Amino acid sequence: MTPCPHPGCPGTVTPSGYCRVSGERVDPVAGLHSSAAVPGRSAALGPSAARATSSSTVPEPDGPEQSEQWYVVPGRTADVELPDESPDPTLLPEIRPRDGAAPPGKPGKHGTPGTPRTPGTPGDPEAQSPPDAQGPRDTQGPRDAPGTGDPLSGQLLADQYRMVRLLGHGGMGEVYLALDTKVDDREVAVKFLRPVQAAVPRGALEKERQAFADLNHEGIIPVFNYGHHEGVGDFLVLPYVDGLNLEEVRALASREPERFGGARFHEFVLAYGVRVLSALEHLHAPERRKVYGDLKPQNVMHDGTTTKLIDVGSIRGEGAPGLTTTGYRAPTVPTATGASTSQDDLFSLGETLRSVCGLGESRLDLAALGALDRLASSGPDEVTARAALRMTTPAPQGLGLVSLARVLARATREERADRFATAREMEEQLRGVFRELRSLRTGLETFEPSPLFLQSPYALEGALGVAPRLSRWAAPPEDDGPRAPLHAPPSAADVAQRLPVPRPDPDDAHHAELSRLSDADPAALLQHTKGWAGSAEVHLLRCRLELRVALRAPDSPATEAQFTEPDLADAERELRLAVEAIGARRARHDWRVDWHHGLLALARDQVEDARDLFDRVYAAIPGEYAPKLALGYCAERLGRRHEALTFHEAVRLRNPSLGGAAFGVARAWLAQGGPKAEQHAVEALDAVPQHSRHRTAARTAAVRIGVSRAEDAGQLGAVLRRLARLFHEHGLTDEQARVRMKAEVWEAAQDLLARDAIDARQLGALSVAPDAARIGFPGDERQLRKDLSRFYLGLAQQAARSAAPDGAQLAERLLDRAYQVRPYAYRHHRDSPWLGKRISNWLRAAARTPPKVRPPRSDSR
């Protein structure tokens, strides 16, 4: 027996280099346990060297947790081939290590002959030891080549496995490369138990091996076999995977971020998360109820274009003791036993993804990175600047960094109830954040139906996406003053009714009936659901219906200026019943409750309160677009212009068909102003695709923006072209709306003539253009005025037929406009034509009347 050289340690060292007392690796040069600092080793660290925790807690009857160890991840080199741009959130680059070694006489993984490696200088890729394909690399332990001091090299285990060389050690113990002599000398990895684990009852490994074999998931490395070898102990046989673990991937991306597409690396990190969550969901399934327990970057292997959870020794039943790692262990996991739940696995994954991205020094930094105050201005803020120094690659653009920080913050919250409830729930949000990051980076649509919200049929266009209302002409022409800006946001009452609606919970007793309901009259739907048994979803539906009924009451506001607080008592009662059905304890963590409280706050025009509530929803479901739409609107109302633009743009790029986001972007640009504000606003509206239900409103808005800012013949010509396409290609078929649109455009042309911004020649040239001719644009001022007079008469008829209380008065004003703009003549009277016209009509009538034939006179005298 070789005594352990560590000062004060009474243990002995195994042939493979472990202390039998501490279970830790013994550095043969320094003579210290691997948890101790090795003198002189830190001097070899370069700026790209990575650090990772490697201590694992081993459950013992009275054994303390092992101390934390920091070790160097060497700078491995690899070939990286990026995949084509794709909306697939599981797509990964292909990574092929260049330093993979193979057994003597066999080709390496990528065709290179296997050659023994000798220890070299840390950081020198050609001097590194072979990759540890099955667990974290222990670069402070010995790395002997075959036949150069490794006592197990060349031995035959269980008459089948020829030991080649030591690869490293993981949670279970040492990992060796071996050849399976009974299966064509295929490469396998043989894992041994640590000395402290060898004390488990005989036969436990066989039971665990069967449990591992039953897992059978592509994201978890399979177990080929198990066995026992005298003098060495129990072992498992697994596939040999020559890849990089996520810590090594992080180190490689940190040194050469451009090889991972720069900021695109964060999308790949989310892809790692989605893949790992698939494996965790398999483990957490009710029929298995297992946990991984020791999730960390070193236990996730990137193999080609796939990932594998490699340290199967940490897998155990939920609540059972097992391995954990300091730094990745959830605060709710006892350090003495490592007993974990499925939500503790999600915490470890969140912390793993955070460390691979390099977001902050710890999970506590995520709150600052996800704060909305960072969106106040377009310039760099101090929090982002500090975070950029630690991030693996450049930060995501726009809202992406906030959403990324929030989804990881949700996974790593202190209490289990505040984290994601299931792997599926976390996966949905990672997918949503992935779509957002990709769209912000590329400008390409990355659409996938929301798992939590129904898409809203409303454009939330406000006054921007509709033909001008009749009230626009309410004032007499001589009293025309500055009108309300087109970019004024819609009323809070409208938004409260028209934001996206949450999908019914599939587990609700009324899910089938709720899914079949249409967006009909709210009063009728209230009557229809009156006899339904109470459930959380039924009460939430009735809360929204009562809100709509209250806001459509006769005394409810038509505009912001006339706001009168509606009676929402019935809606609040339904929300209280929903909370009771959910349960007061669970309701504190249910985003649906905050969402409906936010709608009620909007209905009362309490925008600041609504913003706080929607912010909580955004923190709970960072991958969803609906809370970002709501927050964008609140930012508009509160004058937070850059914040509004950031939220709306993130949603618009991800799903251009969603009109609410496109109109939000247009309003935000117009509110911010600037030389290119109109151009950016119109570009956002033009990006609404032809198949979108909001395309007509978007094209209408583009015309109205153009006509409100036309200053010369060129800009007026662009408006006429857009107006022609709106009438004949983009679906504006309502004749009354067409008249109002033409009246607005013709008025702009008259104003340009009056200001000498265009002349008669330019007006004539505009009228002969094909698009202008299609809509009958006049070629001279006289015809322009005659057309306007005719339009005003038509608008007067619309006003007279409307149900508005001031309809008759508005009709009179429009008649005044019609007669005022009409070209001068000899007589100008609204009830009869001028005298010359009456005379000519009388002459024509007389000419058509045949002369009367007088009867002959009788001559009877």
Residues near 597 by Cβ (< 8 Å), separated by ≥ 6? 575, 613
Cα dihedral 115→118→121→122 (10° resolution): 70
| Residue 41, amino acid | R
Longest pairwise C-alpha distance within the chain: 172
Q: Which residues are annotated as a binding site?
A: 191
Residues near 604 by Cβ (< 8 Å), separated by ≥ 6? 492, 565, 566, 568
Triad 617, 563, 464: Cα angle to 5° = 70
Between CA 66 and CA 600 the distance in angstroms is: 53
C-beta atoms surrounding 377 within 10 Å: 11
Best CA proximity match to 686, nearest among 717, 707, 670, 665: 665
3-state secondary structure 534-566: CCHHHHHHHHHHHHHHHHCCCCCCCCCCCCCCC
- 3-class secondary-structure state, position 454: strand
CA gyration radius, the chain:
37
Residues near 678 by Cβ (< 8 Å), separated by ≥ 6? 669, 670, 705, 706, 709
On the CB side of 633, how many CA atoms lie within 13 Å of its CA? 31
CB 177 within 8 A of CB 167: yes
For residue 188, give the DSSP letter. E
Q: How many helices and strands, by DSSP H and E, does the chain display?
A: 28, 21
| Residue 304, amino acid | G
Between CA 523 and CA 807 the distance in angstroms is: 28
Between CA 742 and CA 750 the distance in angstroms is: 12
C-beta atoms surrounding 735 within 10 Å: 8
Cα dihedral 354→360→364→368 (10° resolution): -110
For residue 220, give the DSSP letter. B
Can you point out the beta strands (E) in 38-114? 50-53, 56-57, 70-73, 78-81, 94-97
Triad 59, 60, 66: Cα angle to 5° = 65
Residues near 593 by Cβ (< 8 Å), separated by ≥ 6? 575, 578, 579, 582, 587
Between CA 437 and CA 401 the distance in angstroms is: 8
Between CA 837 and CA 250 the distance in angstroms is: 89
Best CA proximity match to 795, nearest among 821, 828, 761: 821
Q: Which residues are annotated as a binding site for ATP?
A: 191
Burial class (CB in 10 A: 0-12, 13-18, 19+), 94: middle
Which residues on adjacent β-strands are paired with residue 291? 316
C-beta atoms surrounding 786 within 10 Å: 15
User: Residues, the chain, total?
Assistant: 861
Between CA 15 and CA 495 the distance in angstroms is: 72
Cα dihedral 400→404→410→414 (10° resolution): -130
